[in-house]
């Protein structure tokens, strides 16, 4: 954190937090209108299912990840946006959840930043492997499905149980021209 400039920190906040907020704000009118049209016929006073807001977070801020204060701060704020949507918009028929994947195997992030730690991450994960694009996609589909219609303000962590072990990645990561990170 000492060596991290405020400008990149602000950029991550703008992209993650303001991006999530602006997307939610733009969708709410449509989702609330949908809920008023989808009221159950036989239940007086009940709200209909308007739609779902599913924010994308990360599990890094649940365990604290070295050299990731910018991302951890932003994603904790995204979780708070989802919480506010649940409390404020739930009575209007809009549900809100969060999908929180770990770094995904064979993605740019894992190959660029965590490549040296990949073996350690996998070895400390109870499922014995890393998340895949397919696994995260399947979890996202669930959050948008009818099976999830009553779940509100839940965080679905997709990491094979790693965050329950409170495991930190270990190793040394060198990003040429930027910094050396010892985890």
Query: What confidence tens digit (pLDDT) does each residue in 72-121 have?
Result: 999 999 999 999 999 999 999 999 999 999 878 777 766 666 666 666 66
Q: What are the structural domains of the chain? A: 6-35+50-104+129-163 (3.40.50.720)
| pLDDT of 180 strictly over 50 | no
Own/partner long-range contacts of 108-116 (Cβ < 8 Å, ≥24 apart): 112/175, 113/173, 113/175, 113/181, 114/169, 114/173, 115/173, 116/171, 116/172, 116/173
pLDDT in the model for residue 20? 97
Confidence of residue 18 (pLDDT cuts 50, 70, 90): very high
Task: Please check whether residue 152 is in contact with residue 82, taking contact to mean a CB–CB distance below 8 angstroms.
Answer: no
What is the average pLDDT across 148-157? 88
Closest by CA position to 62, among listed 181, 183, 167, 151: 167
3-state per-residue secondary structure call for 156-177 = EEECCCHHHHCCCCCCEEEECC
| CB atoms closer than 10 angstroms to residue 99 | 22
* pLDDT score, position 60: 84
Contacts of 55 (CB under 8 A, 6+ apart): 20, 24, 78, 79, 81, 82, 96, 97, 98, 99
Q: Where are the alpha helices (DSSP H) in the chain?
A: 6-13, 19-37, 60-63, 69-89, 108-112, 118-123, 133-144
Q: Please tell me the predicted confidence (pLDDT) of residue 174.
A: 44
Residue-wise pLDDT for 30-87, tens only, equals: 999 988 888 776 665 667 778 899 999 998 888 877 888 999 999 999 999 999 999 9
CA distance 71 to 52: 24
Q: What is the pLDDT of residue 150?
A: 83
**What is the pTM (predicted TM-score) of this model?**
0.80
Residues known to be catalytic: 57, 75
């Amino acid at each position: 954190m000492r060596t991290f400039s405020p400008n990149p920190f602000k950029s991550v906040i703008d992209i993650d937090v303001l991006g999530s907020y602006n997307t939610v704000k733009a969708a709410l009118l449509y989702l609330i209108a949908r809920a008023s049209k989808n009221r159950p016929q036989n239940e007086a006073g009940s709200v209909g299912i308007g739609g779902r807001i599913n924010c994308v977070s990360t599990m890094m801020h649940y365990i604290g990840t070295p050299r990731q204060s910018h991302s951890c701060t932003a994603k904790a704020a995204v979780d708070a946006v989802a919480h506010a949507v649940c409390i404020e918009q739930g009575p209007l028929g809009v549900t809100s959840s969060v999908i929180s994947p770990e770094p995904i195997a064979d993605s740019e992030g894992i190959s660029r930043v965590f490549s040296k730690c990949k073996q350690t991450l996998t070895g400390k994960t109870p499922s014995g492997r890393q998340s895949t694009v397919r696994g995260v996609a399947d979890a996202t589909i669930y959050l948008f499905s009818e099976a999830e219609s009553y779940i509100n303000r839940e965080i679905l962590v997709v990491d094979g149980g790693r965050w329950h072990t409170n495991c930190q990645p270990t190793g040394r990561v060198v990003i040429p021209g930027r910094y050396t990170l010892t985890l």
